[in-house]
Amino acid sequence: MGQIMQTITNLAQVSLDWCYKLTGNYGWAIILFTILFTALLTPTRVASIKQQKLNQLLQPELDEINAKFKGNPEKQNAATQELWKKYGFNPLAGCLPTLLQMPIFFAVLAVFRNINYPEGAASAFFWIQNLAEVDSMRILPILAGGASYLQSWASGLTKDPKQKSTVLMMPLMMTWICWNQPASLGIYWAVSQLAYMAQHLIISPLIKVEPISN
């Protein structure tokens, strides 16, 4: 795991350096860097959206199975497995984007903490004088939390009662994490969530789910 994290960190560092050379400003470099990383993870986003749609499609049938075989876990499990097989549904696949996103997040955090930001305009971004410092106005941490909520809304999680705690917890957690971290981290997280939201809104209408076997 340590080697994987180091590889992701090295890749993030090289990518950010390239973006900085292209833009000449670390704020814009972080935005470009974030968009590129989000685009890189598009296949996992497609898989996640497909699994989410399958889950919504299968839920009424799963409810019927649970009611029909209530008190008989073996038959419940067998019928559920058969239904999943029919549609090619993997309940763990929907977690893949999150599992990939967190190592990238911590790798990015490590990179941002070790950047030697130059003095002057290259490290300033709007009201922030130096991206290595905490946003004294705390605007970016709030934006990071708000963007997390918008991403959940776009993904349809706000409509799922089972996801209510997650939908509320994630924005609060990210606001708390970014509160005393370099301003650069708040930019990264806010942009990444908005980019994921845009991905979902674009990709979701294109994905159709149907049985893979009769």
Q: Count, in order, helices (H) and strands (E) of the chain.
A: 8, 0
Contacts for 83-87 with beta carbons within 8 Å, 24 or more apart? Answer: 83/58, 84/58, 85/213, 86/211, 86/212, 86/213, 87/54, 87/57, 87/58, 87/209, 87/210, 87/211, 87/212
pLDDT, tens digit (0-9, with 9 covering 90-100), for 147-186:
988 888 877 766 766 666 777 788 899 899 899 988 998 9
The token duo for 138 is 């705390």
Report the percentage of the chain scoring pLDDT > 70.
87
Would residue 123 count as lying in a domain?
no
Q: 3-state DSSP helix/strand/coil percent for the chain, to nearest 5?
A: 80, 0, 20
pLDDT, tens digit (0-9, with 9 covering 90-100), for 33-46:
999 988 888 887 78
pLDDT, tens digit (0-9, with 9 covering 90-100), for 100-139:
667 777 777 788 777 777 878 888 899 999 888 899 999 9
Would residue 22 count as lying in a domain?
yes
CA distance 121 to 115: 15
Would residue 41 count as lying in a domain?
yes
Distance between terminal CA atoms of the chain? 41
- 112, 182 Cβ separation under 8 angstroms: yes
Would residue 55 count as lying in a domain?
yes
Would residue 26 count as lying in a domain?
yes
Would residue 214 count as lying in a domain?
no
Would residue 211 count as lying in a domain?
no
pLDDT, tens digit (0-9, with 9 covering 90-100), for 45-56:
787 788 778 877
pLDDT at 108: 75
- The phi, psi pair for 125, rounded to 5°, reads -155, 110
User: DSSP class of residue 118?
Assistant: P
- 136, 40 Cβ separation under 8 angstroms: no
Give the count of beta carbons closer than 10 Å to the beta carbon of residue 31.
20
Give the count of beta carbons closer than 10 Å to the beta carbon of residue 128.
22
pLDDT at 112: 75
CA distance 151 to 52: 14
Look at 62 and 143; give whichever has higher pLDDT: 143
pLDDT at 195: 92
Would residue 213 count as lying in a domain?
no
CA distance 83 to 66: 12
Determine the structural domain holding residue 15 and report its residue range: 2-118+128-206
Q: State mean pLDDT over 200-206.
A: 86
Count of domains observed in the chain = 1
